[in-house]
Structure 1
């Protein structure tokens, strides 16, 4: 049994006998073999020896030692390998006593494609699998969109998809408003378009002076040749370029490429602000709130943050820190190994770099202050929820469910999550309703499918409920009928101990007169001015917003889908030929075999395949 397993310093002392002075990574495990802590060491024997007594440690480390029932080690050739391995294991295992970066954000880039005669410029997020030039990262999608908008004004590059490009017969609105040079209909040659693409890439690398001089020369030449319309176009592009440079914000002159990382810690909480400097331009900033303890030092927190932040992200050529780490050279070597080139890790004390770091620290301090204030309010609201619905403790995870459809079409279910830190958007989930047997508009049936899928997966992935993914409260949109149906679903899944509350609109479906339904209890209401009522309304409205947004996205995708995309052997060129000949996909689907064979570029075999595809569909 668990209570008979020995834990504490004596366990570590026995384990120490098997260690030598090799570098490596050690894991400390509790009585149930859960990983408590992952650490690296230049010498495993020396590092682990520090844990053979309880005295002389902070409360956090002393608790960790006292809970340790066993250990695991992996030796490495070098300390650098140990550092990289430690970072990977922390991300995978999420040990309780390590610093953990909770919000693993991915950042958008600008992609200039290189697999087309007329490259496209667009926003890109995720793995860099497409061929082309990537510029970034930007702190947010909004920052990317602003730069893309200005780049279109200056360089007139297309942002349409390849399939849209291939099927156009007339210029789109972007050409009319002077944001595209209409390569889709041949209004610009591939050579001239390539020059614009190269100029845009140079701008994104910070070479703006050359581009402005070039545009000014073209404007002067056009004016001298009395091509006043072209000269005016050049003037507008210069004006747009000047506007881009003026709105970039703080643009450091001596720092062409860097991530500026500022840390502020207070009351056992921490906030990092990361500013992205690329091409001597500020491409925005983002904040992070790692899980820390009050006894952790800034150096320890910073080192852990760097390892986890750059896992899966390419480090820039320079990283500026507000706090140094234990071994700056080793961390710089690790980042260089990830980037495949030299990365400088600096802790500046004066000059422009120090000013940038202080700006990041100031933003971190202000952000943490706002978050702590919001967390205090959130804590009071969660306690109010517990009091209102007789919960044993304030809920750490509330899941709210909603459905959206139009008479059963494009049906989706949605789940949002809220907790002590507010809405946890990385935990939101959408469910495409798959049951073809459902009666259109059957909300009970949709809710049953959503909850069944959600909790079957949870039971499979975490049957012992050791993770923090199990909800403390379910909020269901509906009254007694919905609560009863959900209770039946949960009983079938053998999950009957999760509290649930149905939120019904109440009298006249009035916002503010909500009734709350629970199994075995009479319907209840909260005072109209009760902050808990407003809180629950916000949760329900957020679930509704997410469900509606997911439903609209699914519907929009279905509406823009072209039936020709499903026909094997019909690519962009042949699709364009078919649409040019017949005028629409519907006309293609109704065309006779002989008419299909008459289309330029469509072989007899392909015509038969197209005819058979739509004949079988019909």
Structure 2
């Protein structure tokens, strides 16, 4: 953070006076500016064609809404970055907003990467699989799909229609006979040679053509093959082709919308009301509807629809593939600049359009209807949620309604595979993107020491919070912390929070009733006797839901960790056995148990296994 300028008398400049002073040193060039608050937190990130001309407007006080005027009053310092062009400034602004989450910017919340389908090309028999994240695997990617369900349905169809393998390479290499997927006609079984690799490659190309929108051509070829098989009285092959054609035809029946004039486009529709907004997004690829999702960006009542749409689109495509066409119901602010930035980023021309007629307009109108209905449901839920949070505030004597509640729970079996879980809830319900798991690392804990585990979890969580606050890294403090347990758990939590200097956060212990009966929970607050809420109180039901969600998350995390431990292969523990030698050993002996029964002489016959390594493996299994 920059040093705060001071006036002639030594008084630090703040607000409009500080901004006016900064303008004297600003260039007439494109760039990005950041407005910082008292503790170094970022209040706002903006971009400008001319930093000097844009920033001076804040000091002049003209055209300000009350919200912007408040932002200016809170400003204690500013930072600036000049860029080569305004387009570069826009791209940098988008990146900083997503990274820093400034208080006064329109903010896309709960954003995450979408699932895709990848045809992996690193193996002679290409693998079909679901993928999420960066494109680090060599292969062809298709997407995005709006949800895991949408991509799973398509994968299911592709397996039925093209019989492509989905197994891992290690499973593929260790097969000696076809698996169950082949038995139920979902895989051609290239692993055991039931289909030649050239014929399998032809199936892969057909699947790729289908995903690229050539479904009619693919189905036409398959129909011709089916007819030829029938003419040659190969009725079994004809029946298999018929089933594959039906699988492809089912895709059209499952899609709610099947555009004929849109091959690749994303459709966005915005509906804003009462200081809240919903953006509904539909994905169309290869002439198919690949699902939709509703977003609820953080906005202000004073924000214009065009500004919301522009900010949303910029942040949405910061880390996602950009289609050729983006259809909208509201023309975004600075549309031409946004299209230029998308074109520069994707390496091909990108069009942003608000259709006026025809099928494209119908798609946008359908998305708008979904956005309006989704926002209506959201506002109804928010009203009920607000009443519950007001009840929590009253029950625990908080200064105001909690915006962020963190709930902690631990899970283990006799101290093994111990994990801690943190869930987050607030005015908009459960915030699952904020959930965190903590693998218990301390070796000094007695197995099953719940107090010790809670101390470790809270120390790690709030030590990180303190560090982020010191670095001005956009740390988010909870307003209320709930810990699963009674006086002991509460005492452990308060001890840690006091040590870290965050004892101004409200902490409550939630103890289960006798025989773990719901409705008989007791609540523990510092300096007060334990108390209970009315058995049928909506606030009590809400707190039970929070506790149960934390318990569910901790249990699920524990089970996942335990399952991973159970699946560990003993060969992974032997020095000198890497992925290649492990694969060769499993292929030679069928399993780790087979390797354990082999003699050192037999082990040496495996490619890549030397005499010292064979003796090491042999000795490992006979400890």
Q: Give the shorter-chain TM-score range.
A: over 0.9
Q: Deviation at 1:253?
A: 0.9
- RMSD of the alignment, in Å? 2.3
* Residue number among 450, 454, 467 corresponding to 1:443 in the alignment: 450
Shift of residue 77 of structure 1? 2.6
Q: C-alpha displacement at 1:573, in angstroms?
A: 6.3
Residue 514 (str. 1) matches residue 521 (str. 2): yes
Matching residue within 370, 389, 396 for 1:389: 396
- Tell whether 2:260 aligns with 1:289: no
SS at structure 1 position matched to 2:59: coil
Show the counterpart of 2:84.
Answer: 77
- Cα pair distance change 1:406/1:493, threshold 3 Å: same
Choose the corresponding residue for 2:270, options 263, 273, 278.
263
Pairing 1:234–2:263 present: no
* Corresponding position of 1:207: 214
Rounded to whole Å, the distance in 1 between the matches of 2:363 and 2:252 is 19
Cα 1:101–1:19 change in 2 (3 A) is: same
Equivalent pairs, count: 616
Mapped partners of 1:281, 1:217: distance in 2: 24
Quick one: which of 101, 117, 122 aligns to 1:115? 122
Q: Distance in 1 between matches of 2:134 and 2:619?
A: 38
Write the distance in 1 (CA, Å) between the matches of 2:357 and 2:42.
42
Aligned to 1:408: 415
The superposition leaves residues 305-348 of structure 1 with CA deviations (integer Å, 9 ceiling, x where unpaired) of 11111111121111111111233221111001111111111122
Give the conservation status (yes or no) of the 8 Å contact 1:167–1:572: no
State the shift of 1:51 in Å. Answer: 2.2
- Contact residue 28 and residue 36 of structure 1 kept, 8 A: yes
Unaligned runs of 5+ in 1: none
Deviates more, 1:364-373 or 1:119-128: 364-373
Return 413-422 or 480-489, whichever deviates more. Answer: 480-489
Shift of the alpha carbon at 1:137? 0.4
**1:308 paired residue number:** 315
Kept in 1, the 8 Å contact 2:469–2:475? The answer is: no
1:607/1:13 CA distance change after superposition, 3 Å: same
- Compute the TM-score of the two structures, normalised by the length of structure 2: 0.94
Superposition TM-score, scaled by structure 1 size? 0.94
Provide closer, same or farther for how the CA distance between residues 324 and 168 of structure 1 changes in structure 2, counting only shifts above 3 A: same
Q: Does the Cα contact within 8 Å between 1:153 and 1:237 map onto a contact in 2?
A: yes
CA positional deviation for 1:441:
2.2
Name the SS of the counterpart of 1:52 in structure 2. Answer: helix
Q: C-alpha separation between the residues in 1 aligned to 2:123 and 2:576?
A: 20
- Hey, what's the Cα distance between the residues in 2 that align with 1:20 and 1:152? 59
When residues 69 and 403 of structure 1 are mapped into structure 2, their CA distance, relative to the original with a 3 A threshold, is: closer
- Would the alpha carbon gap of residues 540 and 349 (structure 1) be closer, same or farther in structure 2, given more than 3 Å must change? same
- Aligned match for 1:596, one of 578, 600, 603: 603
Q: Kindly indicate whether the alpha-carbon contact (under 8 Å) linking 1:399 and 1:474 is maintained by their aligned counterparts in 2.
A: yes
Between the aligned partners of 2:580 and 2:461, the Cα distance in structure 1 is: 43
- Which residue is equivalent to 2:23? 16
Deviation of the 1:591 alpha carbon: 3.6
Q: 1:568 to 1:241 in 2, by over 3 A?
A: farther
Q: CA deviation at 1:580?
A: 5.3
CA distance in 2, matches of 1:565, 1:530: 53
Alignment of 1:151-300 (within 5 A): 151-300=158-307
Contact residue 393 and residue 401 of structure 2 kept, 8 A? yes
Per the alignment, do residues 59 and 580 of structure 1 end up closer, same or farther by CA in structure 2, a change over 3 Å counting? closer
Cα deviation, residue 596, structure 1: 1.9
Contact 1:152 1:179 in 2 (8 A): yes
**Matched residue, 1:92:** 99
Give the stretch that moved more between structures: 178-187 or 430-439: 430-439
Q: 1:240 deviation in Å?
A: 1.1
Pairing 1:424–2:417 present: no
- 2:51 is matched with 44
Q: Take 2:72 and 2:186, find their aligned partners in 1: how far apart are those partners?
A: 63
Q: 1:608 to 1:341 in 2, by over 3 A?
A: farther
Q: Which of residues 319, 330, 333 is equivalent to 1:323?
A: 330
Q: For residue 296 of structure 1, give the secondary structure of its aligned residue in structure 2.
A: coil
Aligned equivalents of 1:33 and 1:351: distance in 2?
Answer: 51
What is the deviation of 1:44? 2.7
- Distance, in Å, in 1 between the alignment partners of 2:329 and 2:318 is 20
Cα deviation, 1:539-588, whole Å, max 9, x if unaligned, reads 11111111111111112222222222444554666545534554531342
1:97, 1:243 → 2: CA distance? 47
User: Which residue of structure 2 lines up, in the alignment, with residue 339 of structure 1?
Assistant: 346
In the aligned structure 2, how far is the partner of 1:514 from the partner of 1:350?
A: 60
Listed as ranges, the gaps of 5+ residues in structure 2 are: none
- More displaced, 343-352 or 219-228? 219-228
- Tell me the distance in 1 between the aligned counterparts of 2:598 and 2:135: 41
- For 1:577 and 1:29, the matched residues in 2 are separated by 58
1:355 equivalenced with 2:362 (yes/no): yes
Within 1, Cα distance between the matches of 2:583 and 2:49? Answer: 63
Q: Deviations over 1:356-409 (max 9, x none)?
A: 111111111111111111111111111111111112211111111111122222
* Deviation digits for residues 154-193 of structure 1 (CA, Å, limit 9, x no counterpart): 1111111111111122221111111111112111111111
Provide closer, same or farther for how the CA distance between residues 599 and 15 of structure 1 changes in structure 2, counting only shifts above 3 A: closer
Deviation at 1:118, TM superposition (A): 0.8
The separation in 2 between residues aligned to 1:193 and 1:320, in whole angstroms, is 38
**Residue from 58, 65, 83 that aligns with 1:58:** 65
The answer for the alignment partner of 1:530 in structure 2 is: 537
User: For the Cα contact (< 8 Å) 1:271–1:365, is it kept in 2?
Assistant: yes
**Structure 1 residues 52 and 470: CA distance shift in structure 2, 3 A:** closer
1:366 alignment partner in structure 2? 373
* Secondary structure of 1:416's aligned partner: strand
SS at match of 1:527: coil
2:58 and 2:499 mapped to 1: Cα distance? 47
- The CA deviation at 1:467 is 4.7
**Does the CA-based 8 Å contact 1:108-1:138 persist in structure 2?**
yes
Inter-CA distance 468–379: structure 2 relative to 1 (3 Å threshold) = farther
SS in 1 for 2:463: helix
